[in-house]
Amino acid sequence: MIEHLPADIRRALDEARKRGQKHRSRLRLEAGGEMWRVLRRWEGGVALDAAEVGHLRGLVDLYDGPRHLMQCLIVASAVEEGELICLMKSETPVRDQAPLDFARDDPAPAGYLPRP
C-alpha cells in the first residue's frame, strides 16, 4: 500500500519511523570514541541508521543507557532500506566481577553463630 504513495510522502513516513525508533531505543553502540543509536536488536545482529554510519566492523560495546551490557564482534554489515544491518559473530556479556579460575564447592555458610 505504501508503494502507491508519492515519493515525498514515503520519504517523510520513513523519516518519521526512524525518528520514532531512535527515541524509543536506549540501546547504543560505541567504538573508537563514536556512538550510534540502535534502531532494532535481535539475537546475532542490530540495525543502525545508515545515514549516521555507512560501514561498521570489529569490536564494539553495547550499552543500555549508562549500563554496559556486552562486547560484540561485528563481522558483516550491509545497507538495506536505509538501515545498516550488522551481523555479530559473538556477544560477550560484561560482568561486574572477574571470572573464577576454580570450581566452587557446595555453598559454604555465610557466617557462624557464636556459642552460648
Q: How far is CA 102 from the centre of its chain?
A: 31
Query: Which grid coordinates belong to 72?
Result: 560484540
| pLDDT of residue 85 exceeding 70 | yes
Fold of 2-93: Thrombin, subunit H (2.40.10)
As a whole-number percent, the residues of the chain with pLDDT over 90 amount to: 33
pLDDT in tens, 1-58: 556 778 888 888 777 776 665 556 689 999 989 999 998 899 999 999 888 888 889 9
Indicate the average pLDDT of the chain. Answer: 84
Would you list the domain boundaries of the chain? 2-93
Nearest to 10 by CA among 18, 2, 1, 22: 2
Strands 83-93 and 67-80, by their bridges, are antiparallel
- For the chain, first and last CA: distance in Å? 81
- Of the candidates 92, 39, 30, 87, the residue with the CA atom closest to the CA atom of residue 61: 30
